[in-house]
Structure 1
Amino acid sequence: MPVVTVRNPGTGELLGEVPALDAGQVAAVVDAAQEGQRAMAALPAYEREALLRRVADRIEAEQESLARLLAAENGKPITQTRGEIEAAVRIFRGYAGEATRLFGRQIPLDAVPGLARHLAVTVREPLGVVAALVPFNYPVELYAHKAAAALAAGNAVVVQPPARCPLAVLRVAQLVEQAGAPPNAHQAVVGDVAVSQQLAGSAGIAAISLTGSTEAGRAVARRAAETLKKVYLELGGNDALIVCADADVEEAARAVVLGRLARGNGQICCAVKRVYVQRPVHDAFVDALLAQTAKLTVGDQLLESTDVGPLIAEPAAERVIGAVRQLVDDGARLVAGGSRRQAFVDPVVLVDVPADSAAFAEEIFGPVAPVARFDDPDEAVRMANASPYGLHAAVFTRDISLAFSISRKLDVGGVVVNGSTALRAENLPFGGTKDTGGYREGIHDTVLDFTRQKTVVVMDAFR
């Protein structure tokens, strides 16, 4: 049987081997999930709530070992993977509560002539089997959003963990089973893009939820269209941070360092990927950014002192350096970092970046901060909106009216004022416009998206 080999991206140490499923095995999993879905749908809400709370308790009990496993296979610093596991615990508990709040409606039929004596109500029912396709950058947290939501709504879920770092997600899957999930209500399938395509095209899958690249999203959506299943996509981003002339440049620089260079090793869809600074404060901002960047420690992700670990794999680091070289060729000036050692990339700062550079318009998935200038805030908005992506944006200013004006004009899913774009709270709708996919994921939204409404009309209910 073929296997997926999992290694520490920083050291190459073998961490484990996981069986890779073939097409027949994936089909068998989907078939078995139909039985699991019926069992989940039969559970009353309070039992679904209790199940998810038991899962959260088990994750919490193994928080440190899960964080270390995730750091080892993923490359994020251990201090950050602890936060990711904490988020997963909160997410499971949040969806536990949502399981008991799947409200229907009573719709007044007396709004329609001749129907005043009848009663109409809606109820929420599970969709069926949900396929959850999880990315490598925040696998446990994003798995939690998809799997917990599916189970809360009474669905079964088939999870495809990221092939490069599946181990922590697979361990959580064991905890779900131990917590008492019905047989086949929660299953994991490990494999490559062929598995994703099979799930997307399977008639036994009612909905598919993907967090990943725009390219992957398009491929999944095309295949899913064959069976008209629901498709929920949270895709790439090229988030802009706008620094106005009245901004606190030290705080703005900190938002770039913590929201891009040191968060997830720069491998976050909502990281700060483009920085636009108004000309009067440009030099002061760059000075602050360089001073803070110089303090970052690059190294072993399992050390408490590490700020930036290895990227997910050496080819990923090569792509980042290639994008940096392209920006320099287009006229940008490299003022910090730019060296690569296997999968490690020293945090990069580029200035004088031409706004029309094709490389500037593309998403760079690594610790790179490209800085461009602007003169008028409307000019910064136009440049920010020129991207094909529309996930998050940020604006730094002390003028709240200006902040709201810029926020309204930005074509994105969320705007952060005086903070980093790399902000995701589980109770907020998260997603974007354009090539980011258009979907919004969050505990109050996703659980409803994983249900369907049924209308029941009682004729002559009123005398």
Structure 2
Amino acid sequence: MPTRTAPLPVRNPGTGEPLGEIEDSGPERVTVAIAAAAHGQREMAAMPAHARARLLLTIADLIEAEADDLARLLAAENGKPVLQTTDEVRAAVRIFRGFAGEATRLFGRQIPLDAVPGLEKHLAVTVREPLGPVAALVPFNYPVELYAHKAAAALAAGNAVLVHPPARCPLAVLRIGELVERAGAPEGAHQMITGGVRVSQELASRPGVAAVSLTGSTTAGREIARRAADTLKKVHLELGGNDALIVCDDADVEAAAEAVVLGRLARGNGQICCAVKRVYVQDGVHDSFVEALLAGAAKLSVGDQLADGNDVGPLISEEAAERVESAVAALVADGARKVAGGARRGAFYDPAVLIGVPEDSPAFADEIFGPVAPVARFTDPLDAVRLANSSPYGLQAAVFTRDIQRAFTLAGRLEVGGVVINGSTALRAENLPFGGPKDTGGSAEGLHDTALEFTRQKTIIVMGAFG
């Protein structure tokens, strides 16, 4: 007899208003989904590249047709201002269209065997084949965009995909799932499995799933990787970040401050893995930078994410806001001084600016997932690099300087996956590889990378081909 559990409610994090409810799927539901995915996998693998491309383009068109409604639904359940969720839905449309192109560019290679004595007359080629059913484990902060990166890539490569939407804000992703079905995806090739964290853990543990792709915390990534190891499935991880922004004394201070305001305090309500989470400012411009940062932060409007003009909405839950509040208190206890914001009202948290942050503060080393800008100072830019590299994370970093030689020198020494010169780290273009080393997971996600990750190479050798 299947285990029955109470449905999970979905609420507006700012008001508590009920928006819907989802099934809290148990192991039996996962078993049924994996069995169906095996059928869907065969159908997808047999589909020619042009048909996969057409499927993805149709999905993109259907999403685009409902973009406004999807954006408002996502804002209501997620908490980001509707202007930002509108951009997120548009990004998902671009991603599906981008992977439609990638479906037709999964190239193999011809390898010259005459490089090896005695094999001169033989021919070797490689072909790309689908990897197998992919589990797409989607986070709450950018669920529609990151769902697209995983699901579109899996389908482009000829795989079935099993999607676990975030439990707190699944509704927009679930609606897109209905659009995928309407677009004509084969039965079992694209499935949504709702519920709590155990769904992701089941998918990572089970045979019948060839790969698992997770965007989430480093703690979650370690657990998923441990569970996946038993079946030797491929693991694709984009995990935590504690991105540093380094402001040198020749920088455009106003632009650097704006990068922190928009890339940390406003965008995504600060709940972005690649947001600026640590700011290091050289002594000569420290005071002028802080002045510009405070002026920018003061202009931000906090309130209802569905109302026009608000820059910052509620965090994903009141518990999330409480964690941010506790992290700021820890920074203050370590010696930092809060000079702006920091008040909490339920799930709302006013963007906070802290200065005088000790470089050895444990709270400074941790990832704070909310609108908080902690500022420390440095004297030597190479010392700022050392401080930036002291983090266990390695997603992105930013350097503000007018000296191009300095910019490339510091970029080369930063132990991260991406460096932005004179801009915010809260930058993700779908045609760039995104990810980083260390506790960030070591994978790269993007149009030209992920579809290849979801294939395997087969070598075919024709003996005597040049006989």
TM-score, normalised to structure 1, is 1.00
Deviation at 1:19, TM superposition (A): 1.3
Which aligned pairs between 1:405-444 and structure 2 lie closer than 5 A? 405-444=409-448
The aligned counterpart of 2:82 is 78
Residue type at the aligned position of 1:160: H
Distance 1:30 1:111 in 2: 44
Residue type at the aligned position of 1:138: Y
Deviation at 1:153, TM superposition (A): 0.3
Distance 2:318 2:428 in 1: 27
Distance 1:259 1:438 in 2: 23
Identity %: 73
Distance 2:218 2:417 in 1: 16
Select 1:279's aligned residue among 279, 283, 302: 283
**1:328-364: CA deviation from partner (whole Å, max 9, x where unpaired):** 0000000000100000000000000000000000000
The aligned counterpart of 2:241 is 237
Residue type at the aligned position of 1:197: Q
Deviation at 1:215, TM superposition (A): 0.1
The aligned counterpart of 1:341 is 345
The answer to whether structure 1 residue 120 and structure 2 residue 107 are counterparts is no
Distance 2:41 2:308 in 1: 42
Number of residues paired by the alignment? 463
Distance 2:463 2:336 in 1: 71
Which aligned pairs between 1:358-373 and structure 2 lie closer than 5 A? 358-373=362-377
The aligned counterpart of 1:226 is 230
Deviation at 1:18, TM superposition (A): 1.1
Select 1:217's aligned residue among 218, 221, 233: 221
Distance 1:81 1:301 in 2: 10
The answer to whether structure 1 residue 15 and structure 2 residue 19 are counterparts is yes
Residue type at the aligned position of 2:27: A
Distance 2:375 2:70 in 1: 36
Describe the SS at the equivalent of 1:257. helix
Residue type at the aligned position of 1:434: K
Distance 2:308 2:147 in 1: 25
The answer to whether structure 1 residue 448 and structure 2 residue 452 are counterparts is yes
Which aligned pairs between 1:31-430 and structure 2 lie closer than 5 A? 31-430=35-434
Deviation at 1:273, TM superposition (A): 0.2
Q: Which runs of 5+ in 2 are unaligned?
A: none
Residue type at the aligned position of 1:432: G
Kept in 1: contact 2:22–2:195 (CA 8 A):
no
Distance 2:17 2:376 in 1: 40
Deviation at 1:425, TM superposition (A): 0.1
Distance 1:381 1:304 in 2: 40
Deviation at 1:96, TM superposition (A): 0.1
Deviation at 1:3, TM superposition (A): 1.0
Deviation at 1:192, TM superposition (A): 1.3
Deviation at 1:191, TM superposition (A): 1.2
Deviation at 1:315, TM superposition (A): 0.3
**1:411-436: CA deviation from partner (whole Å, max 9, x where unpaired):** 00000000000000000000011000
Q: Which runs of 5+ in 1 are unaligned?
A: none
Distance 2:35 2:343 in 1: 49
Deviation at 1:307, TM superposition (A): 0.1
**1:24-63: CA deviation from partner (whole Å, max 9, x where unpaired):** 1111101110000000001000000000000000000000
Deviation at 1:21, TM superposition (A): 1.1
Residue type at the aligned position of 2:220: A
Deviation at 1:4, TM superposition (A): 1.5
Kept in 1: contact 2:123–2:465 (CA 8 A):
yes
**1:101-147: CA deviation from partner (whole Å, max 9, x where unpaired):** 01111111111111111111100000010000000000000000000
Deviation at 1:462, TM superposition (A): 1.2
**1:353-410: CA deviation from partner (whole Å, max 9, x where unpaired):** 0000000000000000000000000110000000000100000001011000000000
Distance 2:301 2:202 in 1: 42
